[in-house]
């Protein structure tokens, strides 16, 4: 066994789309310990709630992250609605589910492209991102935006999706399914890909539970938890929802869980479209949250459970708004997954956690 050496990994690294620093303690080529550090892109967005009223802050919330934009605006709106005791129309709940699941599809396909790039399969990366563009086209047609949509408001949504657009979404998703199955095969059946993922970065079921891991990272270690199974909002209308699980706990299992979740999300969208109720898309919300009133909420973002907290102070501004994002919760699990791995596998393991540093630091 060689002498212990500390290798700095990031914040600028080809495999990292966002700045994350790791101090890797290595002995020969084996990582003994990994110590994460963040704080390079902290923007103080939670603090902005003191100078933006609760309706304006929704546009700040969706700018926390470019990939989870819709999820953050939905999570924030739901939390304020809980705080003020507002019930939104059923159609608005279902429209939120459709856009949120479309966000999950584009986020997972984006991630699969990045993973392909990380293990050196550049053409697969290109195929993934080309497929993702078709989902972004749906966003552009239904909301007017490709990254930031601004369709959620406290009390519902600001835009409806008409029958013609719903039929178009179904048609595009059917087409995506065919192309996506080929990409999925490459990830799950290709030998060179499996060589990089099978048995790498193992996290046991017990460790996943004790580290309070969330999202596909936890579900790949057979943690049976997904916020959608609680049936919040429009998810309560789903006939049957079961989280996608795997028992292997390695990088391959994480790829597999995310790959299958894309198909699951497409099924959810189709089910929602089939039973979309008619009616209003928003209710009028007046007044301010009461002084000292508190509300907490959970949303299943593409990367896992996201926790929202709001406290009122009797004015249009909230006293406090808090988003605990899935990556913050998974940093402890990431250090566990990295312990004992080969130095060459670090980038693969870090990517399979799908870290979102913009969300984490806000």
* Residue numbers at the binding site for another protein (CB under 8 A): 35, 37-40, 42, 44, 46-47, 50-51, 82, 209-213, 225, 227, 229-232, 236, 288, 291, 294-298, 305, 307, 309, 311, 313-317, 319-320, 322, 324, 328-329, 331-333, 335, 361
CB of 17: closest distance to another protein in angstroms? 19
CB of 298: closest distance to another protein in angstroms? 6
CB of 229: closest distance to another protein in angstroms? 7
CB of 223: closest distance to another protein in angstroms? 9
- Fill in the DSSP letter of residue 321: E
SS3 296: strand
CB of 20: closest distance to another protein in angstroms? 12
Phi/psi-derived region of residue 267, left when phi > 0, alpha when psi is between -120 and 50, beta in every other case: alpha
- Judged by beta carbon, residue 142 or residue 317, the one nearer another protein is 317
Q: Are 119 and 350 in contact (CB under 8 A)?
A: no
Contacts of 235 (CB under 8 A, 6+ apart): 97, 228, 241
Spatial distance between the Cα atoms of 202 and 219, rounded to a whole number of angstroms:
13
- Judged by beta carbon, residue 155 or residue 304, the one nearer another protein is 304
- Judged by beta carbon, residue 53 or residue 174, the one nearer another protein is 53
Q: Are 322 and 308 in contact (CB under 8 A)?
A: yes
Whether residue 11 has a cis bond before it, omega within 30° of 0: yes
- Judged by beta carbon, residue 236 or residue 340, the one nearer another protein is 236
CA-to-CA separations, 202 to 87, 209, 260, in angstroms, rounded:
43, 14, 20
- Judged by beta carbon, residue 33 or residue 270, the one nearer another protein is 33
- Judged by beta carbon, residue 113 or residue 289, the one nearer another protein is 289
CB of 269: closest distance to another protein in angstroms? 22
Strand spans (E) along the chain: 4-9, 21-27, 30-37, 152-153, 156-157, 294-301, 304-312, 318-324
- Burial state string for 192-221 with b = 16 or more CB within 10 A and e = fewer than 16: ebeebbeebbbbeeebbeebebbbbbbbbb
Two structure tokens written together for 232? 């919040």
CB of 109: closest distance to another protein in angstroms? 28
- Judged by beta carbon, residue 40 or residue 202, the one nearer another protein is 40
CB of 342: closest distance to another protein in angstroms? 23
CB of 195: closest distance to another protein in angstroms? 31
Q: Are 282 and 89 in contact (CB under 8 A)?
A: yes
- Judged by beta carbon, residue 57 or residue 252, the one nearer another protein is 57
- Judged by beta carbon, residue 20 or residue 118, the one nearer another protein is 20
| Beta-carbon-side half-sphere exposure of residue 343 (alpha carbons within 13 Å) | 13
Measured CA angle at 230 (ends 298, 245), to 5 deg: 95
């Amino acid at each position: 066994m060689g002498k212990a050496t500390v290798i700095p990994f990031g914040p600028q690294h080809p495999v990292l789309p966002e700045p994350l620093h790791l101090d890797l303690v290595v002995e020969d080529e084996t990582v003994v310990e990994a110590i994460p550090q963040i704080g390079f892109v902290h923007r103080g967005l939670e603090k902005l709630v003191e100078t933006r009223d609760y309706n304006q802050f929704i546009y700040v919330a969706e700018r926390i992250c470019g990939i989870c934009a819709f999820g953050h605006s939905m999570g924030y709106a739901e939390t304020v609605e809980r705080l003020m005791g507002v019930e939104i129309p059923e159609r608005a709940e279902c429209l939120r589910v459709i856009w949120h699941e479309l966000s999950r599809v584009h986020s997972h396909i984006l991630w699969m492209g990045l993973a392909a790039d990380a293990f050196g399969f550049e053409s697969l990366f290109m195929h993934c991102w080309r497929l993702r563009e078709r989902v972004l086209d749906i966003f552009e047609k239904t909301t007017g935006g490709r990254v930031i949509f601004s369709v959620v408001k406290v009390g519902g949504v600001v835009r409806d999706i008409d029958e013609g657009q719903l039929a178009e979404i179904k048609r595009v998703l059917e087409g995506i399914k065919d192309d996506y199955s080929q990409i999925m095969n490459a990830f799950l059946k290709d030998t060179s890909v499996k060589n990089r993922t099978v048995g790498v970065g193992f996290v046991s079921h017990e460790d996943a539970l004790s580290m309070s891991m969330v999202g596909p990272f936890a579900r790949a270690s057979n943690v049976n938890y997904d916020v959608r199974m609680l049936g919040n909002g429009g998810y309560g209308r789903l006939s049957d929802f079961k989280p996608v699980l795997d028992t292997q706990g390695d990088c391959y299992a994480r790829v597999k869980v995310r790959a299958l979740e894309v198909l699951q999300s497409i099924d959810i969208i189709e089910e929602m479209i089939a039973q979309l109720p008619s009616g209003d898309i928003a209710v009028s919300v007046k007044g301010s949250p009461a002084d000292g009133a508190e509300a907490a909420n959970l949303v299943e973002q593409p990367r896992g459970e996201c926790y929202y907290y709001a406290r009122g102070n009797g004015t249009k501004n909230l006293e406090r708004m808090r988003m605990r994002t899935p990556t913050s919760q998974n940093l402890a699990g990431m250090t566990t997954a990295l312990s004992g791995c080969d130095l060459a596998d670090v980038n693969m393991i870090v990517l399979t956690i799908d870290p979102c540093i913009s969300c984490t630091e806000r």
